[in-house]
């Protein structure tokens, strides 16, 4: 069309709708809620018909973020008809009300805006009338009183951590796990486990396993914690009794398997289920015998040759009413596996036509350079992928600078007419001339 040679080595780039790429999900009685990569959007899916809907965007946050592998918010929790979202890349805590479908924002900085909000919080726990936001790298656990909206920061565990490890540098935790009155967090930097008592708001730090171990997430089988290694570390899977401090390592679980990390382990019916972050085998472990078997239904052996999904396997897992819900990024499928009957439902999830239309603006902002900032040719260069193609480019140049719908539609029609009218290999020049006329 432009009169220039083109090499297309990935035909899926030509799909009109971008892939559905969640970073986390939260399962409720009637819906499943998702945060997604790159864009400021909250999406939900009806559990009966599995139709994906656009619920809204978080106010006060950027519509598009350049950190392509993460999202503004991570795993939320629900309390009294409201969902509380821990800010991962976002500037503030977000609260979403089911009743009136509205958002509320809360500043979490403790009087000091100098603290970075980059990768701040990973998880949240609902306990009585409080919501506890647990850090990824933010140096505090935050308690939100849902009756007063008062925020309290707790940092005593930082000193306890440094006394045990001899290091005063920051922290890095996996997802929180609630057991009775305590919130448990595994350190991704040290061989330590943090117990934060949600009732007394006091902390205890345990040294678990060998020096140099790095952990990720954990589950509890009634007697032992099962602690997964941090991605790409040489740490084995650890079985740990917090009462006796007894530990057992499972290094052999990695033999003939390239997987070095797992999403949060889940416990069900006498088994610990391990689902890999990257492609490879999935395992389940009998807690009575410690026997390890391969879970064929969750094993991903063959990789779809896709530039953005070459190694990613599973994202986010949750057990709800005897069902394991997990998202398979390799084929964009949601899996529902019944732990009692073994019944398995697997279905590809994608944006509905209505949701795609609503999200068109957000994805078009992958072209973030403003016209005024363009100084050289490289300022105009974008590698073409699912999000930066001709369709999103035209949406960006016509929609980003013209907010009223009438002007937007008129410019889109003019560009479409110029594309259709030019048949002499000068379409690229025609688009360029139209953009020049728009802004100069």
pLDDT tens-place string over residues 259-286: 557 888 999 999 999 998 877 788 999 9
Mean pLDDT computed over 14-30: 81
CA 316/CA 314 separation, integer angstroms? 7
Number of domains comprising the chain: 3
Higher pLDDT pick, 387 / 14:
387
Share of the chain above pLDDT 70, in %: 73
CA 12/CA 385 separation, integer angstroms? 9
Identify the band that residue 309 occupies on the pLDDT scale cut at 50, 70 and 90.
very low
Q: pLDDT at residue 310 above 80?
A: no
List the alpha helices (DSSP H) in 328-388: 353-364
**Residue at a domain's end among 320, 350, 380:** 350
Higher pLDDT pick, 205 / 168:
205
367 and 320 both lie in a single domain: no
Q: pLDDT at residue 398 above 80?
A: no
Q: For 20-24, 26-30, 109-113, 369-373, which range has the lowest pLDDT when averaged over its residues?
A: 369-373
Q: Which domain holds residue 50?
A: 19-171
Mean pLDDT computed over 281-302: 88
Query: Per the domain annotation, does 6 fall within a domain?
Result: no
CA 306/CA 411 separation, integer angstroms? 34
Which structure tokens are listed for 379? 């300022």
365 and 253 both lie in a single domain: no
Which structure tokens are listed for 284? 């389940």
Quick one: how far is CA 293 from the chain centroid?
28
Query: Per the domain annotation, does 111 fall within a domain?
Result: yes
Which helix (H) or strand (E) is 153 found in, with range? strand 151-154
Predicted pLDDT of residue 170: 62
Mean pLDDT computed over 77-106: 95
142 and 213 both lie in a single domain: no
Residues 214, 191 contacting (CB under 8 angstroms): yes
**Residue at a domain's end among 289, 316, 350:** 350
334 and 369 both lie in a single domain: no
Query: Per the domain annotation, does 198 fall within a domain?
Result: no
**Residue at a domain's end among 120, 147, 171:** 171
153 and 236 both lie in a single domain: no
CA 319/CA 325 separation, integer angstroms? 6
CA angle, 370 then 382 then 5, to 5°: 130
- Find residue 262's DSSP bridge partners: 276
Closest CA to 54 of 409, 264, 397, 357: 357
Query: Per the domain annotation, does 255 fall within a domain?
Result: yes
320 and 385 both lie in a single domain: no
Q: For 2-6, 106-110, 314-318, 388-392, which range has the lowest pLDDT when averaged over its residues?
A: 2-6
Q: Is 194 helix (H, G, I), strand (E, B) or coil?
A: strand
416 and 339 both lie in a single domain: no
CA 326/CA 25 separation, integer angstroms? 8
Q: How many residues does the chain have?
A: 440
Closest CA to 36 of 47, 25, 49, 27: 25
Closest CA to 90 of 74, 76, 72: 72
Mean pLDDT computed over 213-221: 94
334 and 372 both lie in a single domain: no
Q: For 50-59, 338-347, 381-390, which range has the lowest pLDDT when averaged over its residues?
A: 381-390
Query: Per the domain annotation, does 182 fall within a domain?
Result: no
Mean pLDDT computed over 417-433: 64
358 and 346 both lie in a single domain: no
DSSP 378: G
CA 106/CA 4 separation, integer angstroms? 51
DSSP 136: S
Mean pLDDT computed over 17-31: 87
**The pTM is what?**
0.82
Query: Per the domain annotation, does 58 fall within a domain?
Result: yes
187 Cβ contact list (under 8 Å, min separation 6): 161, 171, 172, 173, 193, 194, 214, 215
Residues 87, 94 contacting (CB under 8 angstroms): yes
pLDDT mean across residues, the chain: 83
Q: pLDDT at residue 8 above 70?
A: no
249 and 388 both lie in a single domain: no
Which structure tokens are listed for 413? 């029609």
Mean pLDDT computed over 66-83: 90
Query: Per the domain annotation, does 179 fall within a domain?
Result: no
State the angle between helix axes of 427-439 and 405-421 in degrees (0 to 180), rounded to the nearest 10.
Answer: 150
Predicted pLDDT of residue 14: 46
Quick one: how far is CA 230 from the chain centroid?
17
106 and 150 both lie in a single domain: yes
CATH of the domain at 341: 2.130.10.10
Mean pLDDT computed over 123-150: 96
Q: pLDDT at residue 87 above 50?
A: yes
- 3-state per-residue secondary structure call for 256-279: CCCCCCECCCEEECCEEEECECEC
Which structure tokens are listed for 55? 């619920």
Higher pLDDT pick, 6 / 411:
411
Q: Is 429 helix (H, G, I), strand (E, B) or coil?
A: helix
CATH of the domain at 103: 2.120.10.80
Closest CA to 37 of 391, 392, 386: 386
391 and 268 both lie in a single domain: no
Closest CA to 266 of 240, 287, 243: 287
Query: Per the domain annotation, does 180 fall within a domain?
Result: no
The helices-and-strands tally (H runs, E runs) of the chain is: 5, 28
């Amino acid at each position: 069309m432009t009169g220039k040679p083109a090499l297309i080595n990935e035909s899926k780039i030509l799909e009109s709708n971008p892939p559905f790429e969640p970073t986390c999900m939260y399962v409720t009685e009637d819906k499943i809620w998702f945060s997604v990569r790159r864009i400021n959007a909250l999406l939900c899916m009806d559990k009966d018909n599995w139709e994906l809907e656009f619920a809204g965007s978080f106010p006060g946050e950027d519509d598009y973020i350049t950190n392509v592998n993460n999202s503004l918010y991570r795993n939320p929790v629900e309390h009294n008809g409201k969902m509380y979202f821990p800010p991962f890349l976002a500037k503030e805590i977000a609260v979403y009300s089911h009743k009136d479908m509205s958002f509320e924002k809360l500043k979490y900085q403790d009087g000091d805006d100098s603290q970075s909000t980059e990768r701040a919080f990973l998880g949240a726990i609902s306990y009585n009338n409080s919501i506890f936001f647990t850090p990824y790298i933010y140096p505090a656990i935050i308690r939100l009183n849902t009756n007063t909206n008062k925020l309290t920061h707790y940092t005593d565990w930082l000193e306890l951590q440094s006394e045990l490890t001899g290091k005063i540098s920051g922290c890095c935790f996996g997802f929180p796990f609630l057991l009775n009155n305590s919130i448990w967090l595994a350190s991704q930097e040290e061989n330590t486990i943090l117990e934060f008592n949600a009732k007394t708001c006091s902390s205890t730090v345990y040294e678990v396993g060998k020096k140099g171990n790095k952990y990720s997430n954990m589950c509890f089988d009634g007697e032992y914690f099962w602690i997964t290694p941090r991605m790409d570390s040489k740490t084995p899977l650890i079985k740990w009794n917090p009462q006796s401090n007894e530990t057992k390592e499972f290094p052999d679980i990695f033999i003939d398997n390239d997987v070095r990390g797992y999403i949060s382990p889940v416990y069900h019916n006498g088994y610990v289920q391990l689902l890999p972050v990257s492609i490879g085998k999935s395992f389940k472990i009998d807690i009575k015998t410690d026997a390890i078997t391969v879970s064929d239904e969750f094993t991903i052996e063959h990789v779809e040759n896709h530039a953005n999904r070459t190694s990613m396997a599973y994202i986010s897992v949750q057990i709800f009413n005897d069902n394991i819900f997990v998202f398979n990024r390799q084929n964009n499928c949601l899996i529902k596996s019944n732990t009692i009957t073994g019944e398995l439902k697997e279905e590809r999830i994608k944006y509905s036509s209505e949701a795609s239309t609503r999200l068109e603006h957000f994805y078009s902002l992958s072209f973030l350079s403003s016209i005024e900032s363009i100084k050289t040719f490289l300022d105009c260069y974008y590698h073409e992928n699912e999000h930066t193609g001709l369709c999103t480019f035209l949406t960006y140049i016509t929609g980003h600078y013209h907010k009223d719908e009438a002007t937007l539609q008129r410019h889109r029609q003019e560009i479409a007419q110029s594309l259709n009218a030019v048949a002499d290999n000068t379409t690229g020049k025609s688009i360029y001339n139209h953009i020049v006329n728009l802004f100069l």
